Chains A and B, each alone.
Chain A
């Protein structure tokens, strides 16, 4: 039974997607060659259906892409069209239809190739259709013109047909659907929709023919089998209403006994027999049905229909016993429903819905009923499968997720404050001394760099005008000065220097001159090599200087200027948390109201059934008593 319920839930959810003409799954596919890893990261989250994280990352990436001076040099440039589409898809999957619509409209209005534009319009039309705006969807698909990508060709036609049906233009829809007979992936859905379109257009015979065709499809695909069952159920109900009981019986009997529509089919099959007066045959499906899950509406109905058939077969005592058994079950179910309503009103349903363990369980609807103090969810299956409830529930779960994120972010901000304080406490005492020493070193560095520049200028000038004296060594300069001093002393009293001394001074000067001039080339080469070495050292110095400046800036930037930003974020988060709390309360109340309304309706229905069962049971006992006493008419 668990599997049946889960299958029913899955079918209803997936059938509604298939009927919306979804092509590629949300999240699309990764590019063959991924150039931008951050885009790949957004896809990583999208493939896990973590839509919030996928959108947040892709939004940031797109914002940075459009923020750079030359976007064509950014790695996202290679994937920009897909990224623009994907962000719309992710937003759609996250049920942000307004933003998704805006994102896709931006693609349409941008300068893009015809197939890209047409695919964007297709997606926009699909959003409108999903949001129950068939007129807008119609307007959108009519703008598609020119080349349509091959992969969405059939889906586009199917969507067109559905939109036309939504706008009441069934004849046009039928024409399109007839052209989709061989569409892959839409097997069963096309003929089913075609049958419905033809019926709505007043073409009863053809409509029934297509439903009949759908009801006979051979397939191993679960979705196709489900749409086949649905077609048989719809056609059978129609035939039953049209009093074509024989055909109705045959069609109902085509529905799988294990499928999600089997209960209703068994009930209909029994009624078809009953209307033909074949009460013994009607006992067969109804006897099967009453053994199934008692919360199902068809089963509950069969619990009255079965004894009714026994009554018709003049087995009043058996009828009375079955009525009695049904009454007991109705009583138990009514009590269960009242307890469930109370449980919901006390807020236990919402608490159970957000339990983590349920999120990991594909059969969570079934699991939910097994938790203590939670309502009987079998009664909520139909409601839970409805679009409105699904959307409300998903919104509630999304709001729960947002609340958790906001709470985490708030504590992150507190952690940021602590980090900043620790950095301030570390750097503040160190920086004045570092800055002072750096200023001293900075002036020395500047001086040395000026000297180096001067040397370079001189060497460059000496290439044009050789200046050997500039390349004299320190020792030679000292010797030269000493020779000058000696000469001045010798001529200090105004007399000429002795001839011997004067000659020796000249010789010494000559030696110096000779050395300086003859070694000029090699000295110039050495000087140039030394300059190169110096330049290399200066380069390293500059690098270290740059590293220091960046580290110094980073030190300040690691704790200065965040206060205002953090306060602003804290305010924003606080405001968002208030809004989320308020919306959660309202959304939760809406879900509870929907659930309570559903359960109340089911309880009232059971109360009605119980009243009628009591009267019918009394009547059956009377008949049975009369039969026993011999004055009955059986």
Chain B
């Protein structure tokens, strides 16, 4: 009896190593591959819709003569870790962003966040940026800066670079 049990257990053990479904509906690799290719196709279709919608949105909501895009980047090898950034244009608050851990990591790796896209007239505009966060040493960091941005006929691109030393605005 015991030797039979031993064989059985070993048999089951080997079987368990290669548990293959032999019940009910079968799933084969061709089926999985075929479906995977169709999923890839629909991803491609949706990406192309995304691109077209993005152009439509830009034309409709942010025409080039009034468009302004504000980007946030980190400088200085992680000298500061912002918790939040607030932006005012001509005294009106336009963007307020609280950073998640993943977003912060993405900024630290060199990614650039487009924090605001909107419309302003051509000419001079007052920008005010308020940053709350922490320095690399763990001290609280609070900095506010004001800039004047000149908006031309074309789309305006403003980069706000955050560093422990301060906030630098680059009007591109």
| Complex contact A598–B5 (CB within 8 A) | no
The answer to the question of B12 belonging to the interface, with a C-beta cut-off of 8 Å to chain A, is yes
| Complex contact B23–A597 (CB within 8 A) | yes
Q: Which of B81-89, B108-116, B128-136, B143-151 contacts A (4 or more CB under 8 A)?
A: B108-116
| Complex contact B46–A41 (CB within 8 A) | no
| Complex contact B56–A96 (CB within 8 A) | no
| Complex contact A94–B43 (CB within 8 A) | yes
A412 contact set on B, CB distance < 8 A = 53, 57
* Known A44-B113, A96-B43, A605-B15; contact A616-B29, beta-carbon cutoff 8 A: no
The answer to the question of A426 belonging to the interface, with a C-beta cut-off of 8 Å to chain B, is no
* Known A398-B43, A612-B5; contact A416-B60, beta-carbon cutoff 8 A: yes
| Complex contact A47–B38 (CB within 8 A) | no
Partner among B13, B24, B43, B172 whose Cβ is within 8 Å of the Cβ of A593: B24
The answer to the question of B140 belonging to the interface, with a C-beta cut-off of 8 Å to chain A, is no
The answer to the question of A267 belonging to the interface, with a C-beta cut-off of 8 Å to chain B, is yes
Count the A-B residue pairs with Cβ separation under 8 angstroms: how many? 216
The answer to the question of A186 belonging to the interface, with a C-beta cut-off of 8 Å to chain B, is no
| Complex contact A60–B60 (CB within 8 A) | no
The answer to the question of B139 belonging to the interface, with a C-beta cut-off of 8 Å to chain A, is no
| Complex contact A308–B5 (CB within 8 A) | yes
| Complex contact A569–B109 (CB within 8 A) | no
Closest to A311 in B: B2
Distance in angstroms from A52 CB to nearest chain B CB is 7
B27 contact set on A, CB distance < 8 A = 388, 590, 593-594, 597
| Complex contact B53–A409 (CB within 8 A) | yes
CA distance A267 to B59 in the complex (A): 66
Closest to B37 in A: A98
The answer to the question of A558 belonging to the interface, with a C-beta cut-off of 8 Å to chain B, is yes
The answer to the question of B52 belonging to the interface, with a C-beta cut-off of 8 Å to chain A, is yes
Distance in angstroms from A63 CB to nearest chain B CB is 7
CA distance A340 to B105 in the complex (A): 39
Partner among B23, B61, B105 whose Cβ is within 8 Å of the Cβ of A47: B105
| Complex contact B2–A594 (CB within 8 A) | no
Distance in angstroms from A70 CB to nearest chain B CB is 16
| Complex contact B13–A267 (CB within 8 A) | yes
Distance in angstroms from A368 CB to nearest chain B CB is 20
| Complex contact A52–B111 (CB within 8 A) | no
Interface residues of B in 97-128 (CB under 8 A from A): 102-103, 105-107, 109-114, 122
| Complex contact A308–B2 (CB within 8 A) | yes
A409 contact set on B, CB distance < 8 A = 49, 53
| Complex contact A569–B42 (CB within 8 A) | no
Closest to B73 in A: A40
| Complex contact A569–B56 (CB within 8 A) | yes
Q: Which of A399-407, A458-466, A626-634 contacts B (4 or more CB under 8 A)?
A: A399-407
B60 contact set on A, CB distance < 8 A = 416, 419-420, 558, 562
Partner among A312, A576, A598 whose Cβ is within 8 Å of the Cβ of B49: A576
The answer to the question of B20 belonging to the interface, with a C-beta cut-off of 8 Å to chain A, is yes
The answer to the question of B32 belonging to the interface, with a C-beta cut-off of 8 Å to chain A, is yes
Closest to A99 in B: B44
| Interface footprint category on B | 35 or more
Partner among A44, A97, A566 whose Cβ is within 8 Å of the Cβ of B111: A44
* Known A60-B51, A94-B43; contact A37-B2, beta-carbon cutoff 8 A: no
| Complex contact B40–A59 (CB within 8 A) | no
The answer to the question of A519 belonging to the interface, with a C-beta cut-off of 8 Å to chain B, is no
Interface residues of A in 42-71 (CB under 8 A from B): 43-49, 52, 55-56, 59-60, 63
Q: Which of A107-115, A172-180, A444-452, A579-587 contacts B (4 or more CB under 8 A)?
A: A579-587
Distance in angstroms from A540 CB to nearest chain B CB is 14
Distance in angstroms from B2 CB to nearest chain A CB is 6
The answer to the question of B92 belonging to the interface, with a C-beta cut-off of 8 Å to chain A, is no
CA distance A481 to B6 in the complex (A): 137
Closest to A423 in B: B60
| Complex contact B112–A34 (CB within 8 A) | yes
The answer to the question of A596 belonging to the interface, with a C-beta cut-off of 8 Å to chain B, is yes
The answer to the question of B95 belonging to the interface, with a C-beta cut-off of 8 Å to chain A, is no
Distance in angstroms from A323 CB to nearest chain B CB is 10
Render B27-45 as a binary contact track against A, CB cut-off 8 A, 1 for contact.
Answer: 1010110011111101111
A558 contact set on B, CB distance < 8 A = 60, 63
| Complex contact A312–B38 (CB within 8 A) | no
Closest to B112 in A: A40
* Known A43-B110, A587-B35; contact A382-B19, beta-carbon cutoff 8 A: yes
Render A377-393 as a binary contact track against B, CB cut-off 8 A, 1 for contact.
Answer: 00000100000100110
CA distance A598 to B113 in the complex (A): 44
The answer to the question of B157 belonging to the interface, with a C-beta cut-off of 8 Å to chain A, is yes
Distance in angstroms from A633 CB to nearest chain B CB is 13
| Complex contact B23–A616 (CB within 8 A) | no
| Complex contact B21–A601 (CB within 8 A) | yes
| Complex contact B19–A601 (CB within 8 A) | yes
Partner among B49, B54, B109 whose Cβ is within 8 Å of the Cβ of A30: B109
Contact sample, A vs B, 14 pairs, CB 8 Å cutoff: A34-B110, A37-B71, A37-B114, A44-B113, A48-B102, A388-B29, A391-B36, A399-B39, A554-B65, A554-B66, A580-B46, A587-B35, A600-B24, A601-B19
6 closest pairs, A vs B, by CB? A30-B110, A597-B21, A44-B111, A40-B112, A47-B106, A600-B23
With A56-B47, A416-B57 given, name 14 new contacts (CB 8 A): A31-B110, A34-B110, A97-B40, A98-B40, A271-B10, A297-B19, A406-B49, A416-B56, A420-B60, A554-B66, A600-B21, A600-B24, A601-B19, A616-B5
Q: Please list the residues of chain B having a beta carbon within 8 angstroms of any beta carbon in chain A.
A: 1-2, 5-6, 8-10, 12-13, 15-16, 19-27, 29, 31-32, 35-40, 42-47, 49-57, 59-61, 63, 65-66, 69, 71, 73, 102-103, 105-107, 109-114, 122, 153, 157, 159, 172
